Amino acid sequence: MGAWGYGLFQGDHDLDVIADLNYEIGLSELEAQAKAKARAAPGTEPSKTNDTKQTSEDKEEEDEDEFDRMIRYDLYGNACSDPDAVREYLHNTDALPKLIAEYTTAFRNAKSVQHWYGPEYKLVILAACLMTLGCKLPADLKKLVGKLYPHVGLMAEGQQQMAKALTQYKEGDLWDFESLGLIDTANARDSSMGGGMNVMGVGTLFGAPPKAKSYPDELCGTCGSGADEGHGLPVCAKCKKRKYCDKDCQRIHWGTHRKECKKAEA
């Protein structure tokens, strides 16, 4: 599994996750409908080849390839041929709320956070993709992803990108994570550098992801938040020391806290 950068969308793993999300949310079907409509519309026939020896089978295959290049519906805005159409679909159907609910439930039913392959990672990538399309970012998703992204295995650059986006993103603007694609990365490399393109990325076998920050017991163990005025933070029922904002934060941090959690003395 390869990666060509340390940011979001700069590895095969992220692109594979997006491909799965595209299918699950219905974009594959929506894309097929758009291609069928384009083929049926007058004046939108793909450009013809000048090869007079081309067979009918060759022409049909060429037309299919051309439509594949012309029309691509993708959650990742940089790879999408029509962000407006995808955004309209997501805003006006129940496909997005259903997918968010499915993965949120899976996360809350899991015993611990799963780096790279779990529902938590998919929620983070989904939120990032929505911002690249200029979509409305549901408040509950934004809040949950804000807790999750430091704990799902993103490389340091990806974490910085996500933190900036969650703070500065405005609905309607296509957010640019400034992550170069494979071809642009290859073109940007100094030819004198030599060596291969692969780097340590999400889902690779080259070591563990950066560790999340640790916080003192009086702050939330996951996000570092303090108590609101007049409202204390809930504490771990077992040790009576470690505090959390809510059940989601406790669930995210449990993989770390369980190693040190000891039953409080009566």
Token pair for 262 = 């000891």
pLDDT number for residue 101: 98
Higher pLDDT, 14 or 259: 14
Q: What is the pLDDT of residues 48-96, one digit of tens each?
A: 545 555 555 545 555 556 767 789 999 999 999 999 999 999 999 999 9
pLDDT number for residue 112: 75
Instruction: Please tell me whether residue 3 adopts helix, strand or coil conformation.
Output: strand
What is the spatial distance between Cα 1 and Cα 200, in angstroms, rounded to a whole number? 10
Closest CA to 49 of 69, 37, 36, 66: 66
What is the spatial distance between Cα 36 and Cα 181, in angstroms, rounded to a whole number? 29
Instruction: Answer yes or no: are the C-beta atoms of 123 and 103 closer than 8 Å.
Output: yes
Would you give the DSSP letter of residue 75? S
Indicate the residue type of 190.
Answer: D
Q: pTM for the full model?
A: 0.80
- Does residue 266 have a pLDDT over 80? no
Q: What is the pLDDT of residues 107-159, one digit of tens each?
A: 999 877 777 778 999 999 999 999 999 999 999 999 999 999 999 989 999 99
What is the spatial distance between Cα 182 and Cα 2, in angstroms, rounded to a whole number? 10
CA angle in degrees (0–180, nearest 5) for 186-189-192: 125
Higher pLDDT, 122 or 258: 122
Token pair for 27 = 């974009």
What is the spatial distance between Cα 163 and Cα 165, in angstroms, rounded to a whole number? 6
Beta partners for 11? 3
Q: What is the CA radius of gyration of the chain?
A: 23
What is the spatial distance between Cα 266 and Cα 19, in angstroms, rounded to a whole number? 52
pLDDT number for residue 229: 46
What integer is the mean pLDDT of 251-266? 79
pLDDT number for residue 49: 47
pLDDT number for residue 80: 97
Instruction: Answer yes or no: are the C-beta atoms of 8 and 14 closer than 8 Å.
Output: yes
Higher pLDDT, 263 or 123: 123
pLDDT number for residue 230: 42
What is the spatial distance between Cα 229 and Cα 246, in angstroms, rounded to a whole number? 16
Instruction: Please state, rounded to an integer, the average pLDDT across all residues of the chain.
Output: 83
pLDDT number for residue 231: 57
What is the spatial distance between Cα 52 and Cα 46, in angstroms, rounded to a whole number? 16
